[in-house]
Structures are given as C-alpha cells and as structure tokens.
Structure 1
Amino acid sequence: MRTLVTGIPATVPTGLWCYRIDARRNLVGGALNDVGRVATWIDETLDLGEADLDDIVAAPPSDTTPLMVPFLTGERSTGWAARARASFANVTAASTGPAMARAAFEGVATSYRRIAGQLVEVSGTHSETDVHGRNHGPRRIHAGGGLLSGIPSFATILANALELPVIPVTTKRTTLRGTALLALEALAPGSVPPPPDLAEAIEPDPAQAAHYARQAALFDRLVTGQATE
C-alpha cells in the first residue's frame, strides 16, 4: 500500500518506507508479507466443505468470527518483526473452517488498515487543501493484484475495514505500468498516457465500521503482546 506525495516528508512513520521518485516526488508506503499466501494457506489447511471462498468473503461480518493476525512468515509493515507469527483469537468449539477463513481475510484487511492509518499521517500533510484550508488524507484506494482477481469480494472487506472506497484495478502488472509512466514523463514530457482499466468502485458500508474497529482494537492488542514477548 503506497501513496505519492509532493516534496520530502518531514517525518516518515516508523512502519513505512519512503522512496525518492524524482526531484519533486516521493513514494511512501508499507508492505505485507502474507496476502496471497494467506489464501493459499486457507486452501491447503482449512476444511471449507462445500463453501466457496469468494462467497465466504462476500458474506456480512459476524460478531462470532474469530480474529487472525496473519503473520505466517513474520511481519513487515508496520512492526518489521521478522519473528512474529500468526495467531487466532476468540476461537470456540463452534468456529468452523469457513469462519476461520473469514477471520484470515479480515486479518489481512486489518493489516492494511494499520498501514493506511500511518499513510494518513503523511498524505494528510502533503495533500491539497480545500476551500476552507483543510488538508485531507486519501479519498479512495486503487487496489490490484492476484488476490483481488481470484477473490473479488475481498475488495468489499477492504473497503469496510479502511472506511474508504476501493476501486479494483483490472490492468495487469500495475507496478510495471507505474515504472513505464515515469519513463514516459522523462522521454515525452507533457504526453497524456491512457488511464488504467478500473472496475466499479466498492463503497464502504457505514453499518460495518464498528465491527472492523473492534477487530482492529483486538488485533492491535495481540500484535503488541507478540512484540513484547
């Protein structure tokens, strides 16, 4: 997860990285180890019965869903804790394979939420001001990658966890496209590249905000406990 900012940030939150793009812009963001790998782990480990994984992800949230900290191979952003491990919480005898799978995807979205919270600190001070002189952080998220193409409903969980519209990018190899755009700016200044291929925006459901806020609070407590061990 990353955002482009004008100028050099005065400070970069400890969970993020900052790359110089050119003389006037920087790319600030964070990275997760386990996103697509979580989906692979679910497929290889959990018994989902007849349930379809995309249908599990598309279902509304439930207070009975366990919580997963999805650090199967350690944590990158925001803790940079290589020895961190995955954890489940609130698991009961009634927790099914589909419920555990749902927990895993909510855990991935909550990891993105942690990065987004730090990105707001940076982008909110480097974005344009409105007519009232107020700065704003990100207004929407463009999301791409193999996980969304395989499990499109994850965009809904992501939108609700981040409380921002998520616009799926259907163009393949989006990072390569960004590199090509930088080269185009240098070779043909003033040229207007074609826009990326975008799907319809997924709007967050305000009624689900409390659920993801609770999950995020528990997630933070579990991660803090791991860090102090």
Structure 2
Amino acid sequence: MHSFLDAKLMAKALRKALAERDVALSHSDCLELVAQQLGIADWNTLAARIAAAKGDDELTLPQDWLVMDNTERNNYRLGLDPQQPGTALIESRYARGKGVVLEDKHFGTLMQSILADDYRGLSVKITACLRTEDANAGSIWMRVDGAKGQVLRFDNMITRRKDGALKGTTDWTELQVVLDVPQEAESIHYGFLLLGHGRLWGRDFRIEATRDNVRSTSTNSYLKRPTNLGFAAGQGASN
C-alpha cells in the first residue's frame, strides 16, 4: 500500500493511466492531484512533509546546541544557516497560508543546558541578536531549574508588554533576559525560539554574571559552562 512518501510514484502512475485514456496532464498537474487525494492543500506542502520525514532538508546543528525535546520537527527546520556563517536558523517548513496553520502553540527551539554551579547567588544575563521574517514571534529565553527539575525562574519575553518578542519582519535586534540564580539552583537552560510561522535567525549569544564563582563539575548531561555561542563549530560531541 502506498503512503504519502510514494507521491511521485503515484503521480507517475496516474499520468500513465490518464494517457492510456487519451487524457494528457503534465507531471506537475498529477503531483497536485495526488496531494489533493491525500488531503493536502498542494504539492509544495506535501513535498515539504516528504522532505521532513526523510530528513532530506535537515540543517546541521551547532556543536553543543540541542533541539528542545517538544519541538515539532515535522513543522520546523533548525540548525546552522548555510548562507550565513556564525548564524543559526529556525524556520517553519510551511509558508503562511499554504495549507498548514501554525499558531502560538507550535514552536521550534534551539537551546543549551548548563550547570548552575558558577552562577548561584548571582544575576545572570543572556544577550543575543535576532532577526525575523514574517514571524508570529521570535525571542530568546532562559530558565533556572532546581534539583528535581522544578522551575525556579523563567522568562521567554513572550508575555512582556515592553521590550518583548520580535514579530513580523525585523532587522538584527539585540535582546536580553536577566534572571537571578538561587542557591538551590542546579541547572540553567537558555536559547531562542520561533512561535508559529516564519523564520528566525540568531547570533552572538553572550552569558554574563556579576562575578566568577567556580564550582566543581557535576556528572550529568549538562555542559559545564557556555560554549560555541558564536556557532563557529558544526555538529560534534558535547562536554
């Protein structure tokens, strides 16, 4: 039984069957018909879904950066922008109005997780430059967690009335998030995210604290400290 991954074969078979009945349609027309038969608005949308399922159009992740677990990989491409060195990109796979509606409940996020050891009792500021294109919303974010994963501090800029997330199409803009890190903090998580449709570029991430407070390394999956904030390195092993 065919699936949507076999759309091109289905279109080829459809064109042949129609030709045998003296009905001439182009391959492009048959692709559009197959997409509609599968309940998808058009061939471009179907082609994007096929590419996402096969991983044909995936971007290379920056070294030591992760895609957040609940990111919908079938809706978003995330990784280094091959056209702009030192820049990471998050983009929706489907253009606005092309059959797939992505709302604020849909999002893509690139992130890092580090130990809180060096930052306990301090205020920590994350700064980065973002640029957007036809975006519902794009922002940086930071979260401070306790020993059992409880959220102690959080800011993703989305609900701010002033100096909040970027919307629509914007030029490069520097954004900041500042949080205090309680003594009971165990980990700090940060990154940038795109809500809904659009494209979001990020570069020049910086993490600053009021003073150094070096602590011993703990054995877990978090990075000891921020690394590759300029996206200079490609895919590689963490820690």
**TM-score (structure 2 length as normaliser):** 0.23
Q: Which has the larger radius of gyration?
A: 2
Q: Which has the higher strand share?
A: 2
- Tell me the TM-score normalised to structure 1 length: 0.24
**Larger relative helix fraction:** 1
